[in-house]
Amino acid sequence: MLDIKFLRANPDVVKENIRKKFQDAKLVLVDEILEMDGQIRDVRTRYEYLRSQRNTISKQIGGLMAKGQREEAEAKKAEVVAMADEMAQLQTKLDKLSADIRERMLVIPNIIDPSVPVGKDDSENVELERFGEPVVPEFEVPYHVDIMEGLNGIDLDSARKTSGAGFYYLKGDIARLHSAILSYGRDFMIDRGFTYYIPPYMIHSNVVTGVMSFAEMENMMYKIEGEDLYLIGTSEHSMIGKFIDTMLDEDQLPQTMTSYSPCFRKEVGAHGIEERGVYRIHQFEKQEMVVVCRPEESPEWFTKLYMNTVDFFRSMDIPVRTLECCSGDLADLKVKSVDVEAWSPRQQKYFEVGSCSNLGDAQARRLGIRVRNKNGNYLPHTLNNTVVAPPRMLIAFLENNLQADGRVRIPEALRMYMGGKEYLEAAKK
C-alpha cells in the first residue's frame, strides 16, 4: 500500500506505474482517492472548528451559571448539543471516507523499481544469468511420477481416494529424500546466519490482508469455516505477520529468518504435462527465507536472497537460471522480483523452483511495522525468497541425477541426511 502523501504529491507517477502494470481499470481510483482525500481535509477542518467552539462555549456556560444567567446558559448548552450532533455526523462521514480510501489504496499497485522490465505477462520476463551446464542425457528421462514409481516412492491413487486431485503419498526413499532436502535447506540457511523458525500455520485475516493483495488472497488462501483464521500459503505470511503493530529499534535490523512450514493453496494451476504429478498441488512443504531491513539495504539483500537459492541448487549439481519478472508479472505489493528456475532434462527447458521478492515498505505500512532511530520513526523494507519447496524441487533433483540404469545419484551434500546412501536404487520387480 502506498503512502497517501506520496499519492497526493505524485498522482501522475502513480498512474504511470498502473499503466506499466497494464491495470488501466485502476486509473480512476487515483482520482477518486484524491477527491475523497480533499473531502476528508474539509471535514476535519470543520470538525476541529466545532470542537474549538464547543470548548469555548462550554467554558462560558459555567460563567453564566455562576452569574445566575440561566436562560443564556441553557441557550449555550443547546448550541453545544447541536455542535456535538454535527461532530458525530462528521466523525461518521470521516470514518466512511477513510475506509473507502483504504479500500482503494489496498488495490493500487506498489511503485515498481525502475530496473523492472515493462511487459504484460511472464512471457516477457527477462533471463539474467545461467549457473551450471544444462545436460540432456543420451537415454530417455521418464516423467517424474514414473521415476518415483520406479523407486516405489509415490502413491497417487490412494491420495485421490482419500483427498482428491492435487494430493499424494510419498513413501520410502522418496519420502526420506523429501525430508532430507528440507533438513539440508534448513541447515544451509542457518550456516548463512539466518535464525530458524517454525511458525503458526494459521493466521488472522488482518495479517492476510497485510501481507498480500486481495486477488492473491482470493486465489490462494483456504479459510477455516466459522473462525477468523486462514491456512498459510507460505511461511512468509506468518513470519512478516509476527511483527504486526511492532516498533523495532534500528539496532535490531536486519531481521534474517528462515522458516519451515507446510503450505496450503487453492489453485492447482494451468494445464499441461508439467502441471501433473507433484508440480502444482494443494499441499506441500517449504523452507523460506525472510528479511526485514533498512530501506537502503534492501537492494543488496534482494541479490543475496536469490543467490542463496542459486547456491543451494548448485550444491546439488542442478543447473539453474535467474529470471527478472516484468511489470505485468509482479504481484501488486512487489517492487521487484526474480525467479530461480531449474533445468529439466526431460522437457529440455527451465521451470520455476523459487521466487525472490522485494516488497519495499508495502507490508510494513499495511501491518504497522515501524523502526525507531535517533531521527524518528520509519517503515522497514521486507523481502522473501524460497529456499526450497521439495515436491517441485524433487522433479529437478530426480531428472538431473537420474542414471541410465534407473538409479538416482545422491549428491554429497545430501548424503549425511540420507544415511550415507550414494544412490537410490530402483525397486525390485
Q: Is 411 helix (H, G, I), strand (E, B) or coil?
A: coil
352 noted as active-site residue: yes
How far apart CA 337 and CA 355 sit, in angstroms, is: 7
CA 141 to chain centre: 34
Q: 210 vs 173, 243, 368, 372, CA distance in Å?
A: 40, 11, 9, 21
| Set 321, 346, 366, 392: catalytic member | 392
3-state secondary structure the chain: CCCHHHHHHCHHHHHHHHHHCCCHHHHHHHHHHHHHHHHHHHHHHHHHHHHHHHHHHHHHHHHHHHCCCHHHHHHHHHHHHHHHHHHHHHHHHHHHHHHHHHHHHCCCCCCCCCCCCCCCCHHHCEEEEEECCCCCCCCCCCCHHHHHHHCCCEEHHHHHHHCCCCCCEECHHHHHHHHHHHHHHHHHHHHCCCEEECCCCEECHHHHHHHCCHHHHHHHCEECCCCCCEECCCHHHHHHHCCCCCEEEHHHCCEEEEEEEEEECCCCCCCCHHHCCCCCCCEEEEEEEEEEECHHHHHHHHHHHHHHHHHHHHCCCCCEEEEECCHHHCCCCCCEEEEEEEEECCCCEEEEEEEEEECCCHHHHHHCCEEEECCEEECCEEEEEEEECHHHHHHHHHHHHECCCCCEECCHHHHCCCCCCCEECCCCC
| Set 265, 321, 365, 370: catalytic member | 265
How far apart CA 394 and CA 316 sit, in angstroms, is: 11
| Set 235, 327, 337, 355: catalytic member | 355
| Set 280, 321, 346, 365: catalytic member | 280
280 noted as active-site residue: yes
Residue that has been written with the C-alpha cell 543447473 in this structure: 319
392 noted as active-site residue: yes
| Set 352, 372, 407, 425: catalytic member | 352
Other CB atoms within 10 Å distance of the CB of residue 396: 23
243 burial type by CB count under 10 A (0-12 exposed, 13-18 middle, 19+ buried): buried
**Which amino acid belongs to residue 191?**
D
355 noted as active-site residue: yes
Q: Which residues are catalytic?
A: 265, 280, 352, 355, 392
